[in-house]
Structure 1
Amino acid sequence: MSPPVNRPQRIEYLDLYRAIAIMAVVAIHATSTAVAHYPRNTFDHDLFYFWNTFLQFAVPAFLFLSSLVLFYNYSAKLSEKGWIVSFYKKRMFYIFVPYVVWSLIYFMIKKWLSGKEPLESSLQFVEQLMLGTAHTHLYFFLIILQFYIVFPWILSLTKRPWFRRYMPLYFIAGQALFYALYLKFQFERTGSLLPSYLIVIGFGAWIGLNFEWMIKKMVHYRYLLLAALLCAGTVSIYFTVDIKTTLIEWPMLTFTLVFLIRNLFTLSACLMLLVMSQRVGTREQRKDYKVARLMDSLGTVAFGVFLIHPLVLLFWRREFTDDLARHFSLGVVLSYIVALLLSWLCAVGLRRLKWGWVLIGR
């Protein structure tokens, strides 16, 4: 009989990480209409623009966390037989099926709302399914599916000392090369391609492989991370356009600066969110147990909330935008609260059903 494999302990505060990240995702989608609605250089526009832009780290944060958890959990399984088959069966099945189902739901509802017959556009549905365009948030599934496809190969490379030791550098170089190719060939839909997120995925993998040591280092340097977040965030939000305008005659320099600033902002936000979750989310640090349970509940069903909340926003904007036209900002805030709470309740209910995984995964 082979000796038992030591399983890594569950990281209890990652549900808090997921909860904060999904709240940010819902806020991005809820405030997007306000950014487009208000004239530029007005208080309302600037307020919603700040939050909508600052919270853009949220989707990369989920990719960062997915990478961290996978490498943390599966690094101990490299020596096991059949782990790759088990991985694909679990991860691909519980992600791909909800993606297809929700793509069909959003496709049919949008056709119905526009007065068209959904069944007459089957080829269009297949195209949207392949591109992740059935609704604005579904591109995320194409990214995560791409990541799952290459994950076993990347994990196998971690057995090589030359790769494991300098892992973040390889991912930084890979993403930089991808964007350099984009400058030359101008291919479309880069936001749906995995190479656009190699830096957060690479750092997530590195932390997952060296978790305890890396957490201690990040906590020790938390103020440096916070300073990087504030500086890079300020430049990314308010000065990126100025950089592009000022350095228009030097496209490679412009590309390099924007690339460094945006990725420093995104990565430092992911790291600070992890540090903050660790500092306040462990059992010893929790001061309000009821609030902690609520946040854990939200984090547990974050995937379902991600899938459902755009549907709530879709009907909210259709039914209530005109009624709240005089109080547009209030309507945006209410849309956020309703979308978050209603999708949360639906996800909790679906999770208790035997077939609920079809809609919210597992």
Structure 2
Amino acid sequence: MEKRAKLSEIDLVRGFAIIGVLLVHSTSDATIQMLNSDLFSLYNFFNIFFKIGTTTFIFLSSFVLFYNYYPQPLTMKQFKKFYRNRLMYVIVPYLLFTAFYFLLGWWSKGQVWDWPAMLSALKYKLLTGTGHEHLYFVFINIQLYVLFPVLLYLFQRFKWLAASAIVVGVLLQWGFFLWNRETQFIVYDRGSWAPTYLGQYFLGAWLGMYFDRIKSWLIIAKENIRASRVLVWMTMWLVWLAAGVSYVTIYYRARADKTLFHNAVYDLFWDIYTMITPLVLIQVAFLLSKMMKNTWIGGLRHLGVISFGVYLLHPFILLVYRQFPPANGDTWVHHLWYAGGFVSALVISWIVVTVISRSNRWAWLVFGSVPLQLQASQRVRSDTPLPAAPSVPA
């Protein structure tokens, strides 16, 4: 059975992604409340430019799965182990956090504790990923885990299909966009369904399958420098920046002066931007990996390792924090308060997840494989294989 080298740089990419998630969630209220502020454009920038968390995590989920499993035969033993791990490290935390946020919301609204009605409502939220505004990501991943063995078999069986995975994924994704636009089959929460992200998912699959072959075209390093590769890197970064700035701009226009664009325009810039972002982040991660012993780089990697736990917990930290808005009407106080929301969500979640994961043998129930990943990150050398347990959010 072929084992592939562990890529510790992926933890850095996860670190970037979870910071993006926290920036988006900590500025969501500010884009409404600070619309007339001189710094509104800055809030809008943080809220839109950093909307790369979910799509990057989906890309990484696919990348890690296909990087690990594609070289191996899909046996029944592997099949059972794959779903056992997902049940333990993804579905169980999803169930517990959905129930937690559901009960918290029910209590905060002062609703009557009618258990039959509550169970019915909870069942609906579990089956639609709507237990809280951030749990849709885990719901998406569960859908993709169902598809994974089928896709793995097809890609292993038909090499031409594996080679053209990016094209196939984008076509399926945009076919879904166009079909849904015509039929309005999913009116709300389209982003909670896996077809919305097939482009990012298939991109991750393609890169995971062929990483050893194409890494010299992706990783910026002295030994990889060729005129053709430098041109590819420059083009990728320019398109990425152009798409990101355009994505930020159309949202600024919509929020600031109510200028609305066709849905396809939003989808187009979002798709281009979020498809290229993981590739850019991988390049940055490999550049920074040379400084892994540096304190802040090591800290970023640690954040990436525990990112699933931080993702699940941080909305609760923000919810509590927002119960204490500033009484002072000065604008600068509000700016500091919004900044404090981001810092609180990051630092408190970071500390709580780390402490619980290291001190409690049952921590996997709430934070999935984070405890295992923390142990692995401390003892695994860079040339050892990736752990069998899913490195969720992957």
Output the amino acid matched with 2:67. Y
1:111 matched residue in structure 2: 106
2:385 matched residue in structure 1: none
Pair 325,217 (structure 1): closer, same or farther in 2 beyond 3 Å: farther
Output the amino acid matched with 1:161. K
1:49 matched residue in structure 2: 44
Q: Is the 1:143–1:194 contact (alpha carbons within 8 Å) kept by the matching residues of 2? A: yes
Q: Is the 2:326–2:337 contact (alpha carbons within 8 Å) kept by the matching residues of 1? A: no
User: For structure 1, which segment, 213-222 or 349-358, has the greater mean C-alpha deviation from structure 2 after superposition?
Assistant: 213-222
Output the amino acid matched with 1:139. Y
Per-residue CA distance 1:30-69 (angstroms, 9 max, x = gap): 01010010125x4221110111000111110000011000
- For 1:216 and 1:92, how far apart are their aligned partners in 2? 36
Output the amino acid matched with 2:325. T
2:63 matched to 1:68?
yes
- For 1:331 and 1:95, how far apart are their aligned partners in 2? 33
Pair 178,355 (structure 1): closer, same or farther in 2 beyond 3 Å: same
1:173 matched residue in structure 2: 171
Which structure is higher in RCO with an 8 Å CA cutoff and minimum separation 6? 2
Q: TM-score, normalised by structure 1?
A: 0.90
2:362 matched residue in structure 1: 355
Deviation at 1:111, TM superposition (A): 2.0
2:128 matched to 1:123?
no
Pair 136,247 (structure 1): closer, same or farther in 2 beyond 3 Å: closer
Per-residue CA distance 1:174-198 (angstroms, 9 max, x = gap): 0011001111111232100000001
Choose the corresponding residue for 1:28, options 24, 28, 46: 24
Output the amino acid matched with 1:321. P
1:251 matched residue in structure 2: none
Pair 246,342 (structure 1): closer, same or farther in 2 beyond 3 Å: closer
Unpaired stretches in structure 1, ≥5 consecutive residues: 249-253
2:322 matched to 1:314?
no
Equivalent residue runs for 1:161-310 within 5 Å: 161-186=159-184, 187-188=186-187, 189-219=189-219, 220=229, 221-239=232-250, 254=262, 257-281=265-289, 285-286=290-291, 289-310=294-315
Deviation at 1:350, TM superposition (A): 2.1
Unpaired stretches in structure 2, ≥5 consecutive residues: 220-228, 370-394
Deviation at 1:122, TM superposition (A): 2.0
Give the length in aligned residue pairs. 347
Greater share of residues in helix: 1
- For 1:197 and 1:179, how far apart are their aligned partners in 2? 10
Pair 156,324 (structure 1): closer, same or farther in 2 beyond 3 Å: farther
2:7 matched to 1:11?
yes
What is the DSSP-based 3-state SS (H/G/I as helix, E as strand, rest coil) of the residue aligned with 1:73?
Answer: helix
What is the DSSP-based 3-state SS (H/G/I as helix, E as strand, rest coil) of the residue aligned with 2:50?
Answer: helix
- For 2:247 and 2:74, how far apart are their aligned partners in 1? 43
